[in-house]
Amino acid sequence: MATDAPSTSTSSPADLTVDVVVLGGGPVGENVAQYAIEGTDLTAAIVETELLGGECSYYACIPSKALLRPPAVADAAAHLPGITTPEIDRAALLARRDTWVSQYDDAGQVAWAEGAGMQVVRGYGRIVGEREVLVEAADGSTATRVHARRAVVLATGSEAVIPAPLRELLPWTSRDATGVREVPEDLVIIGGGVVAVEAATWMAALGSRVRLLVRGSSLLSGYEPFAGTHVRDALRGLGVDVQFGASVLGGEREQARSTGLGRLHGGRVTLQVEDAGGRREVSADEVLAATGRRPRLADVGLDSIGLTAQDVTGTESVTSDDATGAPLPKWLQVVGDASGDAPLTHWGKYRARVIGQAIRAGATGEALEPLPEQVPVPQVVFTDPQVTSVGLTEQAAREAGHEVVTAQVPFGGAAGSALLRDDVSGTAQLVVDRSARTLLGATFVGPDASEMLHAATLAIVGQVPVHVLRHAVPSFPTASELWLRLLEALPRELRGG
């Protein structure tokens, strides 16, 4: 049985003084500590109450992608001639997931952290004063007071939001879905975002009859509209029943009991659902509430220094002059999901690197390179087809006041991308600023589209004019040829040639 009990290989002293204290041992916390001390004699402690490596390593990014990749390969094989379509082995798929999460054991992560010069302090940490953190053991038996000479960093991540009408039902959250042990015969997923559509994909592959109840009228709001349409069609092709305009008012469970990560929480669930046709009941073996996340800041001691959760979310970008945004004291940093910024591991790690370097520079006097004018947030949804996006959507660009030109082509519009499978579906689009002639955003929806994204990220960060991008020659026949098709679809006065 999976467990979230941490390795006990690291003990903590009664009192500890270091240069940097990081609350939260996920990838973001690890990165900020690493970059703050590397190449110096500075010291850092990471405080973690669960598994070192955090949500991404054990309950989100890694296990979900471990579950999604084999079905994607099987689906690609089903769309190529001369291949016998592979069958999904449920036990083998779950075993692959367990391997990638190290059987829910963090000994390897602890060894890496200690090898990089960080001290791991087990327990729940909260701020109790200026540069002071109190860490209590999980059972309350011991407490460690940790003093930070320079900085305290909140990297406590986020937690699932469960709407009030669902709480008594003990619904699954994303942790249960990625940690699935007992595959429900039928599953209701509430939500239409990334967690919902990815979970629907792997749960259908595991054999569940999946119904997706979406309050709005589309999937993946915030992306280009065609992205949600492609994913909707793909999910329905997998047998997922996607229902829009469906609001869950409440429900009941025959027997409600928590049975642990990825196990059914009791008897069947009956939900009260309202849509355009009125009120109705929906029954299932299990329900997954994919209804959003919020920063985990409820009990980190902000009140002890006169702050609230609202004060520490949405802080401005750090600079070499001021490593925090008002109203935070300069010794306090907030990064990753806890900051209210884009809840993506790669983005949190980037911000952690910037903040860690700023802390190190403040201690050593080293010069910092200025940050680029534009640092867009890349995103990937690992459905099949994959959805990838970076920068602004067309609508967001227009709302920001840009004079926008778009180029859109079918994802199979190049020989290389069409060769990926015989019936490629998907769309690629660029959003360009007409006056600056530079890329504002890009979206690719198609098989393995994630591998197309970084070129767009580089073009935006480097502010490369589109007429220059035409001289970046793609190899033939690769999916990268889509860049040439897209650039050719722009008006000639922008692209040149």
Concatenated DSSP letters for 416-458?
HHHTT-TT---EEEEEEETTTTEEEEEEEEETTGGGGHHHHHH
**Residue in this structure with the two tokens 């079905």, named with its chain if needed:** 71
- Residue 449 to residue 409: CA distance in whole angstroms: 14
pLDDT tens by residue, the chain, 497 residues? 344 555 544 444 469 999 999 999 999 999 999 999 999 999 999 999 999 999 999 999 999 999 999 999 999 998 899 888 789 999 999 999 999 999 999 999 999 999 999 999 999 999 999 999 999 988 888 899 999 999 999 999 999 999 999 999 999 999 999 999 999 999 999 999 999 999 999 999 999 999 999 999 999 999 999 999 999 999 999 999 999 999 999 999 998 788 888 898 889 999 999 999 999 999 999 999 999 999 999 999 999 999 988 888 864 433 323 444 446 899 999 999 999 999 999 999 999 999 999 999 999 999 998 999 889 999 999 999 999 999 999 999 999 999 999 999 999 999 999 999 988 999 999 999 999 999 999 999 999 999 999 999 999 999 999 999 999 999 999 999 999 999 999 999 898 87
Q: Do 46 and 153 sit in the same domain of this protein?
A: yes
Residue 138 within a domain: yes
Q: Helix 61-78 crosses helix 194-205 at what angle (to 10 degrees)?
A: 60
pLDDT of residue 490: 95
Q: Do 42 and 190 sit in the same domain of this protein?
A: no
Residue 100 within a domain: no
Q: Which two tokens stand for residue 331?
A: 């010794």
End position of a domain, from candidates 291, 306, 338 = 291
What is the maximal distance between C-alpha atoms in the chain? 72
- Residue 405 to residue 466: CA distance in whole angstroms: 12
SS (HEC) of 226-277:
HHHHHHHHHHHHCCCEEEECCEEEEEEECCECCCCCCCCCECCEEEEEEECC
pLDDT of residue 141: 81
Read off the CATH number of the domain in which 127 is found: 3.50.50.60
Please give the helix or strand (H or E) that residue 121 lies within, else none: strand 118-122
| CA neighbor of 28 nearest in space, from 299, 356, 310, 327 | 356
* Residue 37 · residue 20 · CB < 8 Å: yes
Q: Do 23 and 134 sit in the same domain of this protein?
A: yes
Q: Helix 107-115 crosses helix 27-37 at what angle (to 10 degrees)?
A: 20
End position of a domain, from candidates 291, 316, 344 = 291
pLDDT of residue 4: 52
Q: Do 323 and 399 sit in the same domain of this protein?
A: no
- What domain range includes position 486? 379-495
75 phi, psi to nearest 5 deg? -65, -40
Tell me the β-bridge partners of 122: 48
Q: Do 272 and 298 sit in the same domain of this protein?
A: no
Read off the CATH number of the domain in which 412 is found: 3.30.390.30
Q: Do 141 and 176 sit in the same domain of this protein?
A: no
* Residue 64 · residue 348 · CB < 8 Å: no
End position of a domain, from candidates 291, 306, 327 = 291
pTM of the complete model: 0.92
- Residue 431 to residue 398: CA distance in whole angstroms: 10
pLDDT of residue 14: 64
Domain count, the chain: 3
Helices (H), 131-208: 174-178, 194-205
* Residue 208 · residue 187 · CB < 8 Å: yes
- Residue 367 to residue 364: CA distance in whole angstroms: 9
Q: Do 19 and 154 sit in the same domain of this protein?
A: yes
**Residue in this structure with the two tokens 């929480």, named with its chain if needed:** 265
* Residue type for position 359: I
